[in-house]
Structure 1
Amino acid sequence: MILAKNIRFLRTQAGMTQTDLADKLGLQRTMISAYEDGRSEPKLATLAVISGLFIVSIDELINHDIEQFGRRASQAKDIKVLAVTVDRKDRENISMVGQKASAGYLNGFADPEYVETLPQFHLPTLASNATYRAFELSGDSMLPLVPGTIVIGAYVEQLKDIKSGKTYVLVTATEGVVYKRVFNYLEENGKLFLVSDNEHYKPYDLRGEDVLEVWEAKAFISTDFPNPKDKTKPATLDEISAMILDLKSEILRLRK
């Protein structure tokens, strides 16, 4: 019953209703009620999402009474459960997350059985010392990469290793799967600033605790070749930096 008690405690501590938590997990409210009453237990994939949502390890969720004894001092916030598949030669596959699969990936990203259902492929030109995953873009916020482009990312184990100005695919509990240029302000305010290369999209911030997985963009696959007559250009780094400064100034103004 420790798991049931912990889920109820963490949910109420976060000011969330059962419906709120159900929406974030993609489940019915009755399932959250069953978890908290001990009538049912979450699958590993759902446990992984709960773990990322409340910044608590799966082991602590299952075995430690958080309400009675508090959080463990040795809690490692950046630990993630990563599911991979291998081929007959024991080489890691690149799992492909399509546009239609992105919603299901939020619940299944830590479940090896789910990951096995995704399309798998190899790219021999990529370095062999990393784990890769491929994500299909669904919007035009990162022009000149168009919708349908497949971005291949290398797994980033810890949020602190995110390099400001680089592009990443982020799997998040609040925004779903997004591909953005990221600026790392975790040490300053516990947040990341996400910026689109298409200047028509405004940047926004994201709490570190809402990030479930991070993949640094290393390559992309597209059937659309750049059109030299297309005058739509991505924002430059100087323009992105200016947008970030404007955003931070606006946030400071609103706080006063």
Structure 2
Amino acid sequence: MIGENLKFLRKNKKISQEELANELGLTRSSYSGYENGVAEPNVQNLLKFSQFYGVPVDVLIKKDLPSLGVEKWHELSQGVHVDLEGKKLRILATTVNEDDNENIELVSEKASAGYTAGYSDPEFISVLPTFQLPFLKKDRKYRTFPIKGDSMPPVSDGSYVVGEYVENWRNLKSGYPYIVVTQNEGVVFKIVHNRLDDAQSFQLCSTNPFYEPYEVHANEVVEIWKFVNYICHDIPSVSFKESELTKAILGLQADVKHIRNTYIPKND
């Protein structure tokens, strides 16, 4: 299979065997043997091919690239190597209660630091605190994550956000809040704009305008959870529009004037 994949990638790039061999420091005869299946490239050369084409080694070895459809090949050629639609097995470690109902695991602030490494480890998930919210739908999977900082008001620092597991990332609705678990940043809570079709990425935005939006490539994402509700330790502050404040002040002034005219006797 790897020989057919190498031939497919080279032809797609529109270069000759000799040009490719010179580019990667190989002899033409040895490279020709890889394509024809009479020799297998060693690990060092596999890494060279992977870097040159921007395709992971496991894709070179395991996938039948010539048989991919146009859409899947476009995703691979643009650097998307994850299962966007959740059609393959996506490992989700979970726990159940004594009635065999799915628990809502609570990822503590301490546990969130290791969540990117332990999210698919049953042992890591099994020691998390669990609880139930009876008003949530029974056929969905939920998890609760801690929120740090002031980037997503009215959700304040120290709150916990309950998320519903998203299997098909193409179903993400732009402009809605999600918990996004990334390889580099860990757990983040943001307004997400779905840019899979044009940029193979997600744009993450804060509700606090002080923070600039930024892009996360789909390959960096390991899990996504749709916002359901949040648990807060304080009452969010309420802000009024200037017009509303003006109206309220004028109303108070009218009330004071009415009280003064009605209940305070005038001096003769």
Using structure 2 for the length normalisation, give the TM-score: 0.60
Aligned residue in 2 for 1:147? 157
Aligned residue in 2 for 1:77? 83
Gaps of 5+ in 2: 1-41, 69-80, 242-268
Residue 130 of structure 1 pairs with residue 140 of structure 2: yes
> Are 1:156 and 1:215, in contact at CA under 8 Å, matched by a contact in 2?
yes
> Are 2:82 and 2:218, in contact at CA under 8 Å, matched by a contact in 1?
no
Distance 1:13 1:123 in 2: 47
Deviation at 1:116, TM superposition (A): 0.5
> Which residue among 170, 180, 188 is the counterpart of 1:160?
170
Helix, strand or coil at the partner of 1:157: coil
Residue 195 of structure 1 pairs with residue 205 of structure 2: yes
> Are 1:159 and 1:208, in contact at CA under 8 Å, matched by a contact in 2?
no
Distance 1:221 1:211 in 2: 25
Deviation at 1:227, TM superposition (A): 2.4
> Are 2:205 and 2:213, in contact at CA under 8 Å, matched by a contact in 1?
yes
Question: Which structure is richer in relative contact order (CA contacts within 8 A, separation 6 or more)?
Answer: 1
The aligned amino acid for 2:137 is A
Deviation at 1:9, TM superposition (A): 5.4
Matches within 5 A, 1:1-256: 13=50, 66-67=59-60, 69=61, 71-73=63-65, 77-78=83-84, 79=86, 80-228=90-238
Distance 2:109 2:233 in 1: 16
User: CA, structure 1 residues 198+87, in 2 after alignment: closer, same or farther (shift >3 Å)?
Assistant: same
Distance 2:225 2:97 in 1: 21
User: CA, structure 1 residues 87+187, in 2 after alignment: closer, same or farther (shift >3 Å)?
Assistant: same
Gaps of 5+ in 1: 16-53, 232-256
The aligned amino acid for 2:175 is G
User: CA, structure 1 residues 163+108, in 2 after alignment: closer, same or farther (shift >3 Å)?
Assistant: same
Deviation at 1:139, TM superposition (A): 1.2
Deviation at 1:99, TM superposition (A): 2.0
The aligned amino acid for 2:101 is R
User: CA, structure 1 residues 55+146, in 2 after alignment: closer, same or farther (shift >3 Å)?
Assistant: farther
The aligned amino acid for 2:63 is R
Distance 1:11 1:194 in 2: 33
- Considering only CA atoms, is the larger Rg found in Structure 1 or Structure 2? 2
Residues 152-182 of structure 1 deviation map (CA, whole Å, 9 limit, x = unaligned): 0000002101110110000111221100000
Distance 2:55 2:120 in 1: 15
Deviation at 1:98, TM superposition (A): 1.9
> Are 1:139 and 1:146, in contact at CA under 8 Å, matched by a contact in 2?
yes
Deviation at 1:144, TM superposition (A): 1.2
The aligned amino acid for 1:154 is E
User: CA, structure 1 residues 110+93, in 2 after alignment: closer, same or farther (shift >3 Å)?
Assistant: same
Deviation at 1:93, TM superposition (A): 0.4
Helix, strand or coil at the partner of 2:153: coil
Deviation at 1:76, TM superposition (A): 6.9
Distance 2:49 2:112 in 1: 28
Deviation at 1:228, TM superposition (A): 3.2
The number of residues matched between the two structures is: 181
Deviation at 1:128, TM superposition (A): 1.1
> Are 1:193 and 1:204, in contact at CA under 8 Å, matched by a contact in 2?
yes
Distance 2:146 2:55 in 1: 27
Deviation at 1:70, TM superposition (A): 5.5
Helix, strand or coil at the partner of 1:227: coil
